[in-house]
Chain A
């Protein structure tokens, strides 16, 4: 993208570790895990909502990262974006089998405390001012639907139920939201 910002220090560090993983340097995966696992585990937990499942998924994710590091290293994308995508897709795959199971509130892991050093995505991400501007053009309802889907891993049906709107309405809000994002981004 034309607005791609220069990588942050954190991104450069992740890139370096992924390059070493690509070169089969077994000593690089643990520091990578230590840096990235908390945020990925946060994403997985939001989608899967059950700790045991999120733990299983996190292991799958790092196995995949190790196996596909060479592919990523050659393609030169954004490291955290790539890893979060792997995590989200894995979680959505697991939902296929697991969403029907009841979620016990007691099993929800505790959120990390407020004073913990911030490894939120913002710290990792050199960002796109353009996307921020384009997201701001959406209605609140549209943005909310996108977040419920992307962050919470909710399907169209889930979002309809959660927001109390008809399924068709939710589908068209999301479709139009994505359309206007694309138009805005490619202007």
Chain B
């Protein structure tokens, strides 16, 4: 570039970059810039210098939808999950699912019972398995191989607290498993009992609240610590 060329181009380049070259002159200059390395170079010189006039411009956060517009105009693909991200998210989901399952399991599973009794027939076959969960105040009874019972009669379970009267623990199931809550009296009785008993009672259980006959089964109540 000769000094004369530069003297010719430079004032125009400066006013173009400054923005004061307007109208048809600006458009003509843009075409010149596109076709002349000298003009382009002088514009870049002024761009790099005058930029410091914009130092005080405050940034403004554009609204979020603008980026989507740009992406659509350029037909850019939706961002894919990066493998590390995907792995982290998958791991988090698994952890959450795992924790939920554990919590759910614990909510339906009482954990080990505090006391256990197995009521067995003379043959040795378990008739009922009784599990007491004293902390949660619950009892689970699983029916096994039941002995024959008279018509319209129920088997009733009793706690036999030491030094006290038997306390009813309810009518025993004929099949399957029942779970029910324990009253304060029942819990108290169980806390002081080393044995439980089964009697045969009128349908629905003893009407008096006390065993009406002698127990057909007595089983030890073992504490599980």
Residues of A bordering B, CB below 8 Å: 1, 26-27, 29-30, 33, 37-39, 41-43, 45-46, 55, 58-59, 62-63, 66, 75, 77-78, 80-82, 84-85, 88, 92, 96, 109-112, 116, 119-122, 125, 127-128, 131-132, 135, 146-147, 149-151, 153-156, 174-175, 178-179, 181-182, 185
Contacts and interface: CB of A to CB of B under 8 A. Distances in A.
A41 B55 CA distance: 14
B58 A111 contact: yes
B50 interface: yes
B104 interface: no
B74 A116 contact: no
Contacts, number: 143
A150 B54 contact: yes
A81 B14 contact: no
A174 B15 contact: yes
Given A174-B18, A178-B15, 5 more contacts: A116-B59, A120-B58, A128-B49, A151-B54, A178-B18
B84 interface: no
Interface residues of B, number: 40
Nearest to A4: B48
Contacts of B73: 59, 63
Contacts of B188: none
24 contacts: A30-B67, A41-B61, A55-B62, A62-B70, A63-B70, A63-B73, A78-B48, A85-B47, A85-B51, A92-B22, A96-B22, A111-B58, A112-B61, A120-B55, A120-B56, A121-B51, A121-B55, A125-B52, A131-B52, A153-B19, A154-B19, A174-B20, A181-B49, A182-B14
Interface of B: 10-11, 14-15, 17-20, 22-23, 26, 44-45, 47-63, 66-67, 69-71, 73-74, 76-77, 79
A115 B181 CA distance: 60
B79 A30 contact: yes
A63 B67 contact: no
Nearest to B59: A38
B53 A128 contact: no
B52 A135 contact: yes
Contact of A77 (B11, B48, B57, B61): B48
B60 A41 contact: yes
Return the 10 tightest CB-CB contacts between A and B, nearest first. A38-B59, A178-B14, A150-B53, A41-B62, A39-B59, A42-B60, A42-B59, A26-B76, A119-B59, A62-B70
B102 to A, nearest CB: 38
B96 to A, nearest CB: 28
B76 A81 contact: no
Given A26-B76, A149-B18, A149-B20, A112 B60 contact: yes
Contact of A112 (B44, B55, B58): B58
Contact of A66 (B14, B52, B56, B74): B74
Contacts of B51: 78, 80-81, 84-85, 121, 125
Contact of B63 (A46, A55, A75, A84): A55
Given A29-B74, A131-B52, A179 B58 contact: no
